[in-house]
Amino acid sequence: MTRYMLSVHSVEGEVREPMSPEDMQHSWQQIGILEAEMKSTGAWLFSGRLHEPETATVVRVANGEILTTDGPFAEAREHLGGFYIINAEDLDAALALASKVTRVIGAPIEVRPFADFADEPKG
């Protein structure tokens, strides 16, 4: 098994139609069904949803001093909005799960394996 991160990205300025309360409830139900499926197969380890990019604070070292700046790390249009950490037999299995996630939430998903000590994906 290889551990993968399925990262959910939002696109700055991309406006979505507001969801009705019924649509929102249906969306949460679909997410619950998908997560239950992943849990039942042992693929789901944990997940998290993040606040908007402007709530981020970046901490870095510059000239030996610690600096903090408000806002996201990169000036970009796409930002990390949430993630799943999963176990999958191989990349194809991880991509199959990512396909299900993107269908349910309607946002792009990046799939990346965690590095092991040899820094090579397993599987």
**Structural domain includes residue 8:** yes
Q: How far apart are CA 56 and CA 70, in angstroms?
A: 6
Share of the chain above pLDDT 70, in %: 86
**Structural domain includes residue 27:** yes
**Structural domain includes residue 105:** yes
**Structural domain includes residue 50:** yes
**Structural domain includes residue 97:** yes
Q: Which residue carries 């950490």 as its tokens?
A: 85
Distances (CA, A) of 13 to 50, 51, 55, 57: 17, 16, 16, 20
The domain in which residue 105 lies consists of: 2-12+23-113
CATH code (residue 103): 3.30.70.1060
For residue 84, give the 3-state DSSP assignment.
strand
Q: pLDDT per residue over 17-54, tens digit each?
A: 778 889 889 988 999 999 999 999 999 999 988 888 88
pLDDT at 93: 95
Query: pLDDT category, 57, cuts 50, 70, 90?
Result: confident
**Structural domain includes residue 41:** yes
In this structure, are strands 57-62 and 44-49 parallel, antiparallel, or unpaired?
A: unpaired
Query: pLDDT category, 118, cuts 50, 70, 90?
Result: very low
Distances (CA, A) of 50 to 25, 41, 56, 92: 19, 25, 10, 26
